[in-house]
Amino acid sequence: METTIHPESIPDYTEPGELRILQLQRLRATVQRCYDHVALFRQRMDERGLKPADIQTLDDVAKLPFTQKTDLRDTYPYGLFAVPMKDVVRLHASSGTTGKPIVVGYTKDDLDVWSSVMLRSFVATGMHAGDVLQNAYGYGLFTGGLGAHYGAERLGATVIPISGGNTERQILVMKDFGVTALCCTPSYFIHLIEQVNAGGVRFEDLGVKIGIFGAEPWTEAMRQYIQRESGIKAFDIYGLSEIIGPGVGIECSEQNGLHIFEDHFLMEIVNPETDEVLPDGGEGELVITTLTKQAFPMIRYRTHDITSIIPEHCACGRTIRRIRRIRSRCDDMMIIRGVNLFPSQIEAALLSVEGTVPHYQILLTRKGGLDQIEVRVEVTQAMFSDRIREVESMQKKLAHAIEHVTGLRVPVRLVEPNAIARSEGKAKRVIDQRSKGEEIQ
Ligand code: DLL
């Protein structure tokens, strides 16, 4: 597919040397701004005897203190803002896992940068002015809806601000409004495909060509499933509220890694245990420093997302670097009988077996002081009504596929169609009942 070059996407083609000069200039300005306006950051710099002027090269970023999600909680709601509230024109929030949300703020310039990186993201997928985008990311405090909205408008696409949920209406709009591109979470898109098919319509007859999916981990196997079942081309988009929202990075027509908009976001990969910075290619935790954010700049933010930088140039011609799709969050890693296990491994294994639909949940319990795991997988109606023996053989096949990928024998239980709750946003794949006492099922 040929990539359309929109005038505003030109920075993707900056010479690498030029980019590094720009990054250093912006890094130094960001560090100075944080030092001057964010008490916690200044205190941490002072504790290390560091001054903003000590940042002389890009590698000096490693001297700076990390920022953690707990820092955002501890300074709730506005303690890390670097501008007075009169300059903050928008707030978003992401629901933390415990208690209070994380609050993030934007100046007018921040919103401008956000629209610009989202515009570039859409361009990378081959979208242009004239495309009709069904924006099924949630509007509201979640960054997905409004982030995609303004980027697509800026591109000149027609945006349908339908938000998440209300599947019947989503389908009606897809059928009647000439939709050519759609964005939502990959798990919700799978639900949409199923519901379209249930109404007797083939998804590929709808006219949707491009899907922009993110906000949760998904695998290459899931992409293949989506593309096969829907006939669209599916792109992975990455971002997080603390950095800007969606638009930190996106895949291009090569669909082989996500380009990070490095003129706005400086990336490092660190070993999550030792905090050591890894060379390009090493897998570890993505750490991001914002280079242009005004209201809510982030220095060395620990994303908890596991990936690696792809050292090779991309065939699409962009010189900004890529990361591999996010494998998992560090906190999603399960340790079962001493083996590290990621939900994405389970997903890839399940999708390698025909006859399942990619609705699954991983149930963690504790028995006799040991962590137990069970994988629940939905099967198609046809499969479910088959004889017990066939269900058993399917369970075995799935367990075998998981063992092949992970080296672990994991019990698999087939459940009836629709037994696993559908999400309109981020899917909940892991149900952790380990803290609820023993043997609760
Ligand atoms: O999910 C922003 C977003 C909206 C991204 C729409 C893409 C599309 P948060 O709610 O703050 O923001 O969640 C951020 O979601 O740290 C990752 O763990 C996960 N995540 C986001 N995109 C991807 C992706 C939005 N493409 C957290 N692959 C991040 C895997 C993703 N995980």
Ligand 1 centre to CA of 406 (Å) is 25
Residue 241 has pLDDT above 60, yes or no: yes
**DSSP class of residue 151?**
H
Greatest alpha-carbon span in the chain: 72
pLDDT of residue 96: 62
**Distance from Cα 67 to the centre of ligand 1, integer Å:** 18
pLDDT value at 145 more than 50: yes
Q: Tokens in use for 108?
A: 């007018």
Number of helices (H), then strands (E), in the chain: 11, 21
Ligand 1 contact, 213 CB (< 6 A): no
Which of residues 6 and 157 earns the better pLDDT score? 157
Q: Is 224 helix (H, G, I), strand (E, B) or coil?
A: helix
Residue 439 confidence class, pLDDT cut points 50, 70, 90:
very low
CA distances from residue 370 to 103, 336, 338, 376 in whole angstroms, order as listed: 37, 8, 10, 20
Q: Residue 142 class from Cβ within 10 Å (0-12 exposed, 13-18 middle, 19+ buried)?
A: buried
Query: Percent of the chain having pLDDT more than 90?
Result: 82
For ligand 1, is residue 332 a contact (CB within 6 Å)? no
Instruction: Give burial (CB, 10 Å; 0-12/13-18/19+) of 259.
Output: buried
Cβ(185) – ligand 1 distance below 6 Å: no
For residue 440, pLDDT beyond 50: no
The top-level CATH class assigned to 105-330 is alpha beta
Q: Is 315 left (phi over 0), alpha (psi -120 to 50) or beta?
A: alpha
pTM over 0.85: yes
Say how many Å lie between the CA of residue 237 and the centre of ligand 1.
8
Question: Where does the pLDDT of residue 441 fall: very low under 50, low under 70, confident under 90, or very high at 90 and above?
Answer: very low
Lowest mean pLDDT among 45-49, 107-111, 298-302, 327-331: 327-331
Hey, is 365 helix, strand or coil?
Answer: strand
Contact 215, 248 (CB under 8 A): no
The single-letter DSSP state of residue 295 is S
Q: Would the CB of 214 count as within 6 Å of ligand 1?
A: yes
Which atom of ligand 1 is least distant from the CA of 304? 16
> Which pLDDT belongs to residue 98?
61
305 lines ligand 1 (CB under 6 A): yes
> For 7-11, 58-62, 95-99, 377-381, which range has the lowest pLDDT when averaged over its residues?
95-99
How far apart CA 248 and CA 250 sit, in angstroms, is 7
Q: What confidence score (pLDDT) does residue 437 get? A: 58
Q: Name the burial class of residue 375, with classes exposed (0-12), middle (13-18) and buried (19+) by CB atoms within 10 angstroms of its CB.
A: buried
Q: What average pLDDT does this structure show over 403-419? A: 92
Ligand 1 and 323: CB distance under 6 A: no
Atom of ligand 1 nearest to the CA of 137: 6
220 CB less than 6 Å from ligand 1?
no
Beta-carbon neighbour count of residue 183 at 10 Å? 29
For residue 432, the cross-strand partners are 364
Q: Measure the CA–CA gap between 268 and 262, rounded to whole angstroms.
A: 11
Q: What's the confidence (pLDDT) of residue 232?
A: 98
Q: What is the mean pLDDT of residues 386-393?
A: 78
358 in contact with ligand 1, CB cutoff 6 A: no
CA–centroid distance, 433 to ligand 1, in Å, is 24
HEC per residue, 160-173: ECCCCCCHHHHHHH
Cα separation, 103 vs 77, whole angstroms: 6
Site to probe by mutation for ligand 1, drawn from 240, 296, 306, 429 as the one with most ligand atoms within 8 Å of Cβ, is 240
Q: CATH homologous superfamily of domain 333-436? A: ANL, C-terminal domain (3.30.300.30)
Q: Which atom of ligand 1 is nearest to the CA of 95?
A: 10
Query: Average model confidence (pLDDT) for the chain?
Result: 93
pLDDT in tens, 199-225: 999 999 999 999 999 999 999 999 999
Element (H, E) at 103: strand 102-106
Quick one: tokens of 263? 């003129």
Torsion of CA 68, 69, 75, 79, to 10 degrees: 80
* Triad 270, 275, 281: Cα angle to 5°: 20
Read off φ and ψ for residue 226, nearest 5 degrees: -60, -45
pLDDT tens, 255-277? 999 999 999 999 999 999 999 99
Exposure class string for 192-226: b at 16+ Cβ within 10 A, else e: bbbbbeeeeeebeebebbbbbbbbbbbbbbbbebb
Inform me whether the pLDDT recorded for 381 exceeds 80.
no
254: pLDDT strictly greater than 70: yes
What does the DSSP assignment read for 303-343? EEEEE-EE-SPPTT---S-EEPPP-EEGGG-EEETTEEE-H
- Of residues 393 and 99, more confidence is placed in 393
Q: 343 CB less than 6 Å from ligand 1?
A: no
Ligand 1 neighbour 236 (Cβ under 6 A): yes
User: Domain limits of the chain?
Assistant: 105-330, 333-436
Q: Which of 216, 222, 223 to mutate to test the pocket of ligand 1 (most atoms within 8 A of CB)?
A: 216
151: left (phi over 0), alpha (psi -120 to 50) or beta: alpha
436 confidence band (pLDDT: 50, 70, 90): confident
Residue 44: strand, helix, or coil? helix
User: How far lies 355's CA from each of 58, 342, 346, 393, 441, in Å?
Assistant: 50, 23, 16, 12, 26
Q: What is the mean pLDDT of residues 143-155?
A: 98
Q: How distant, in Å, are the alpha carbons of 221, 255, 266, 358, 400 from that of 418?
A: 21, 31, 42, 11, 24
Measured by CA distance, the residue closest to atom 28 of ligand 1 is 217
pLDDT single digits (tens) 319-353: 999 999 999 898 888 888 888 899 999 999 999 99
Residue 305 CA, ligand 1 centroid: distance in Å: 9
Nearest CA to ligand 1 atom 6: 144
